[in-house]
Amino acid sequence: MPRSKALSAFAIAIYVFMYVPILVLIVFSFDNSRLAVEWHGFTLQWYEKLFHNEAVASALSNSLIVALISVAISVVMGVLVAVGLSRAKFKGTSMVRGLIVLPIIVPEIAMAVGALILFIAIGMPLGLASVIVAHIVFCLSYVALTVMARLEGLNPQLNEAALDLGATPVEAFFKVTLPILLPGIISGALLAFVLSLDDFVITQFTAGVGATTLPLRIYSMVKFGVSPEINALSTLMLTVTILITLLAEWVRTHRNQAATDQ
């Protein structure tokens, strides 16, 4: 019993250590003082100023463009890679799977420097296009791994049954395999979207003039001190991230429940 209480206290301490700084940030985003070190009263002025900040709006637009395009391409490529590896039978399958995981394991700074050197070597100008290409690399890994995990529980006889009933391989994929993989695809896409939206290191190395994303804009604002505007922006980003996470969990639960009912 004492050991159980000690473990509970330790778990609570970990949660406090993780989430109290976030709660402090959220609270001071509504503080009337610009110093954000002592509570002076409730206000929404920092959110109002944030919504009228054209530089932040432009950076948000760039971040959304990069994230949406990167995720869209990564989903298509990731699903094809996952399905292909699940059906492939050759000696190098394990090595190919390892190469898919590699962008997640390799330090982000190494990937950023490598991408920068590659773009310079091939003469590709730095801008939104280079950022998108760099983001596709790590987004693809997350999508592929999520879909491969979903494929582990897929009964291969379902696809074979569809073929036996007269469906072509393409029809069997779209009518049988794809609906089953959809929860994994959505989860991987949402995860990749959040990671792309929040990425700083790779974007910092591969972005050119006029390709400032939201994390880069926040970094430039922090150089002059942490203002309540940054707290407000961070609070909004945190809210969006939580909503996306809840949406992914709802989709997963809903699809699993639907599959159970059937």
Is residue 161, in this structure, part of any structural domain at all?
Answer: yes
Is residue 182, in this structure, part of any structural domain at all?
Answer: yes
Is residue 135, in this structure, part of any structural domain at all?
Answer: yes
- Write down the pTM of the prediction: 0.79
Is residue 11, in this structure, part of any structural domain at all?
Answer: no
Q: HSE on the CB side for 19, CA within 13 Å?
A: 6
Task: Mark out the alpha helices in 123-227 (DSSP H runs).
Answer: 128-152, 156-164, 169-172, 178-198, 201-206, 214-222
In this structure, what token pair is assigned to residue 188? 């991987």
pLDDT digits (tens, 9 = 90+) for 132-176: 999 998 899 889 888 888 887 677 677 777 777 777 777 877 887
Q: CATH number of the domain at 98, please.
A: 1.10.3720.10
> What domain count does the chain have?
1
CB 237 within 8 A of CB 183: no
Is residue 254, in this structure, part of any structural domain at all?
Answer: yes
Is residue 17, in this structure, part of any structural domain at all?
Answer: no
User: CB count, 10 Å around CB of 230?
Assistant: 22
Is residue 2, in this structure, part of any structural domain at all?
Answer: no
Look up the domain containing 205 and give its range.
52-261
Residue matched to tokens 């922090």: 222
CB 86 within 8 A of CB 158: no
pLDDT digits (tens, 9 = 90+) for 87-141: 777 777 777 777 888 888 888 899 899 999 999 999 889 989 999 999 998 899 8
Is residue 8, in this structure, part of any structural domain at all?
Answer: no
DSSP sequence for 139-167: HHHHHHHHHHHHHHT--HHHHHHHHHTT-
